[in-house]
Chain A
Amino acid sequence: MLEALFGRLTWDSIILVQEFEDPNLNTFITAGAAAMMPVGGALVVALLFWMKWWKPLFDWLTSVDHKKIGTMYIIFAVIMFFRGVVEGVLMRVNQAVALDGGFLSSDHFNQLFTTHGTNMIFFVAMPFLIGLINIVVPLQIGARDVAFPKLNQISLGLTAVGGFLIMISLLVGEFSTGGWTGYPSFTGRLINPGVGPDYYILSIGISGIGSTLTGVNFAVTIYKMRTAGMSFMRMPLFTWTALCTSILLIFAMPPLTACCLMLGLDRYLGFHFFTNDMGGNLMNFINLFWMFGHPEVYILILPAFGVMSEIAATFSGKRLYGYTGLVAATMCIAVISFMVWLHHFFTMGQSATVNAAFGIATLLVAIPTGVKIYDWLATLWGGRIRFTTPMLYLCGFFVLFAIGGLSGVILANPTLDYQLHNSLFLVAHFHNVIIPGVLFGVLAGIYFWFPKIYGFRLLDGYSRITAFLWAFGFILAFLPLYQVGMMGLTRRTVNYDDPALVPWLVVSATGALFLGLAFLFVLLTLWRSVVNRKKLAVPFGDPWDGRTLEWWTPAPTPEWNFAVLPKVDGRDPFTEAKAKGTAYQPIEKYEDIEMPANTYYGLIIAALGSGLGFGLVWYMWWLAIICFLGCIVTVITYAFLPERKKIIPAAEVREIDEAWRRAAREARGVTRDDECNEANQGLARPDLITNP
């Protein structure tokens, strides 16, 4: 009876219980992490009651507004980022003291690097970027929403299901020990019968479906929802990179879905896709995984490149240099990304000819990437550069990302890869592209667009310190890993017996502590900025003398984005309008605006999806079946429910929009010298616009 109800979930599965039964340092750490879930949850609930925030919370959770959904993606990513950073710091610190020992058990260490990788890729980097894309793309193309707002909410819900599963694994059971790539046959049923790999495949499988739908949504949004005159070659670069990322999501996520399904069939029903015997072939998994996994790298980096393009143009007050080249380079990278997956396993038995072909294809990626770097440098050349926080990130990116890219070129050579593969050199390489590339892009983008959506700037001093901490911490934490990698230390190693490694790893652990501090500074910046939000307000909505459509709205941007959809006749429409002095001219005619109303659709799917995943992990079949049928019933029910729309009357839109335009015509605005002062109300003084 109990087994039918709880499947393989027993009292001992709960991590906190394990601490009492077998107290040692490892169970203490896991129990501490597990305890954060109920304690954190209770604190959040208490806060919600205390502040009476339940209604606003549900307004957010049921919203289909792309700006709110994007914000929720980013909040989700920050929460998961916290866990990822703590895990990273823990691993680095362990390795610093791991000469003939270390304080973590190998099983614990294995779970740590698996969750760290899975978490950082799927539930930090992707939600960060998808969040930014959600917030910015509709504004940049002059649209009021995405093509499928409800689908957008469902995508968020499915991503949250993945996050739920990886978080609950901290409290109940264990996570996979197979690394974020989860290769069978180690993750197969025979070797690893526990719940870990099931958590892994279900969390990335379910959230992967959400990502596929996001790709479809944004590809259609960018193809079909552009405002009048916004031809492809007038789209801002961030929108271009979002389009390429969407295309990659559409074509690269299915292999992940397929290999998760197959591994699931192997584990649950005893199929022989990837087993060692009976005609199974684990190389199929590795091929399928990297057919997803390599494009995934560019899914992450392309939007970051987009952010850097916007920043280079805006903060040097110049038109983006080599727009066509940047677009072509983005597309080239997107296409080549599908032709290089084999470089992730050069050593796994292909012929030299095959390795050479994929090695050369990999080297080719450096060409369009190089084009991009030179285009950004040429954009800065001769511009009036302001060293604001995003520009600091851009400078850090130029230097550090280039090093990461070059070490990638080294690894792309199969002969060298035979020496360096599976060592910490590789770990140093991919952190070297992901942190200065993706993370710097995300943080710069958040600083850049934050005032647009929430109406106030982030505090400048704190943001600068944060940027330096990230760069400094990164250099200390990861550059030594190149050295220990070349000295032969393999990745995913819990301890070692070579004292020569110790100094490097101690430096690296120190760097990791700085990275942890940098994360705390992100939160501190946010908190201090919220407290000072009145002084930092930029109600006119253009704090950085922006060039593209998103800056042509008040801040915070109203729900409908644009009172009247703008018409575009150039690449930097807002800069041109400001130069001509027509940016804030009155508009004759306003119309009623129809917006989709709030819906519980995504929330219901997220709840049922979580139940489905949890039920499958623990063999609670009744729960899985009920939740699966529940999903079908929900979809059918929503097919019959009437489409609810909110109508915002023209009079209301007129009142808000006219007030904003009138105030902007009457105010003086600030020059770029006062950009980071309290004087900046979000209105750029037109007489200082040079070189439009």
Chain B
Amino acid sequence: MSASTRQSLHPGLNLGAEHGDDHLEAETSVFGFWVFMMSDMVTFGMFFAVFATTLPLACCPGPTELFDLGSIAWQTSFLLLSSMTSGMAVLTMKQEHGGRSACIKKLVFWLLLTVLLGCGFLYREISDFIFMATAGGPPTRSGYLSALWSLVGLHGLHVTGGILWCLVIVVGVMVRGVDLRWKLALLRWAVFWHFLDVVWIFIFSFVFLGGLL
């Protein structure tokens, strides 16, 4: 590969040059996923915008009755910690060059830890949803509750998808080893997982803190 092609690569998106030719394909694959994430971000933006135009109605319980900041704090901690562990997984993959069993063990460890934290997040979130439904705040009661449930729920569905994807990667690296395909999958999944963190920060700040302050 010529020098000019190398220069046009974006550091940070891709694998290091020590991964051989793999880092060339990472350029297209991971960049493409970033572009897709931009599109997904607009989807979230639309749900945020609709949420911002609604107000709690007098008929139904509002934020003070429905939100439990303690639980939200747990969810935030789970998700932020899981972002760190997912980062550790990617670092393991980048530093401990592909294929060796020690690398796979470490990688799987970090990935499963991430899954565990993600499940912790989902558990608390679903408990909150059940509480809201029983406390008189199901999404069918008002426009505000519809917007709230679907915004938070859309994020929750993304987290569920992310967990499923992570498990697929775990099986993949265990069966096939850390080859190009799974390296790229891991890089894209990591972008996705961090993205969910960013979205959560906004949900935390605007929906939950904003609702209670």
Residues on A lying within 8 angstroms of B by beta carbon are 147-148, 212-213, 215-217, 219-220, 223-225, 228, 250-251, 253-255, 257-259, 261-262, 265-266, 269-273, 275, 278-281, 284, 288, 291, 632, 636, 639-640, 643
Contact = CB atoms under 8 A, between A and B. Distances in A.
Given A223-B31, A254-B46, A636-B168, A279 B181 contact: no
Given A147-B32, A220-B31, A288-B50, A215 B143 contact: no
Interface string B39-63: 1101101110110011101010000
B61 to A, nearest CB: 14
Contacts of A288: 46, 49-50
A253 B50 CA distance: 17
Contact of A224 (B28, B45, B139): B28
A250 B49 CA distance: 18
Contact of B142 (A213, A216, A278, A636): A278
B143 A279 contact: yes
B39 A250 contact: yes
B185 interface: yes
B141 interface: yes
B40 A254 contact: yes
B27 interface: yes
Contacts of A281: 53-54, 143
Nearest to B32: A220
8 contacts: A224-B31, A254-B40, A255-B46, A262-B50, A266-B146, A272-B145, A284-B53, A632-B164
B35 A255 contact: no
Contact of B43 (A148, A254, A272, A636): A254
Contacts of B28: 147-148, 220, 224-225
Given A147-B28, A220-B31, A284 B50 contact: yes
For the complex of A and B, 5 pairs with smallest distance between CB atoms = A279-B143, A258-B46, A254-B42, A271-B146, A254-B43
Contacts of A280: 143, 146
Nearest to A259: B46
B32 A216 contact: yes
A273 B168 contact: no
Given A224-B28, A643-B181, A270 B46 contact: no
B46 A278 contact: no
Interface string B107-146: 0000000000000000000000000000000011111111
A148 B59 CA distance: 51
Contacts of A271: 139-140, 146, 149-150
Contacts of B43: 254, 257-258
Contacts of B50: 258, 262, 273, 284, 288
B163 to A, nearest CB: 13
Nearest to A279: B143
Contacts of B144: 279
B36 interface: yes
A281 B43 CA distance: 19
A137 to B, nearest CB: 15
Interface in B144-197: 144-147, 149-150, 164, 168, 172, 175-176, 181, 185
Contact of B47 (A219, A258, A269): A258
Given A262-B50, A271-B150, A640-B176, 14 more contacts: A212-B36, A215-B39, A220-B28, A250-B38, A254-B45, A255-B42, A255-B46, A259-B46, A272-B141, A278-B59, A278-B143, A288-B46, A640-B172, A643-B181
Contacts of A259: 46
Contacts of A632: 164
Nearest to A258: B46
A262 B150 contact: yes
A278 B141 contact: yes
A212 B39 contact: yes
B172 A639 contact: yes
B39 A272 contact: no
A643 B181 CA distance: 9
Nearest to A253: B39
A269 B139 contact: yes
Contacts of B168: 636, 639
A251 B39 contact: yes
A299 B132 CA distance: 42
Contacts of B140: 269-272
A262 B40 CA distance: 16
A258 B146 CA distance: 13
A448 to B, nearest CB: 29
Contacts of B42: 251, 254-255
A278 B176 CA distance: 53
Given A147-B32, A643-B181, A279 B55 contact: yes
Contacts of A148: 28, 32
B176 to A, nearest CB: 8
Nearest to A284: B50
Contacts of A265: 139, 146, 150
Which of B27, B50, B142 gathers most chain A CB within 10 Å?
Answer: B50
A279 B46 contact: no
A436 B130 CA distance: 56
A506 to B, nearest CB: 45
Contacts of B185: 639
A266 B40 CA distance: 22
A273 B49 CA distance: 12
B26 to A, nearest CB: 11
A212 B57 CA distance: 36
A148 B146 CA distance: 37
A148 B25 CA distance: 11
A628 B144 CA distance: 29
Nearest to B146: A271
Nearest to B180: A643
A651 B60 CA distance: 75
Nearest to B57: A279
Contact of B39 (A216, A261, A273): A216
B39 A254 contact: yes
Nearest to B33: A216
A158 to B, nearest CB: 14
Nearest to B35: A216
A250 B150 CA distance: 22
A281 B181 CA distance: 46
Contacts of B143: 272-273, 275, 278-281
Contacts of B45: 254
Contacts of B146: 265-266, 271-273, 280
A354 B25 CA distance: 47
B39 A220 contact: no
A370 to B, nearest CB: 30
Contacts of B172: 639-640
A287 to B, nearest CB: 8
A216 B36 contact: yes
Contacts of A291: 46
Given A257-B43, A258-B47, A639-B172, A279 B142 contact: yes
Contacts of A643: 181
A10 to B, nearest CB: 27
Contact of B57 (A219, A220, A278, A284): A278
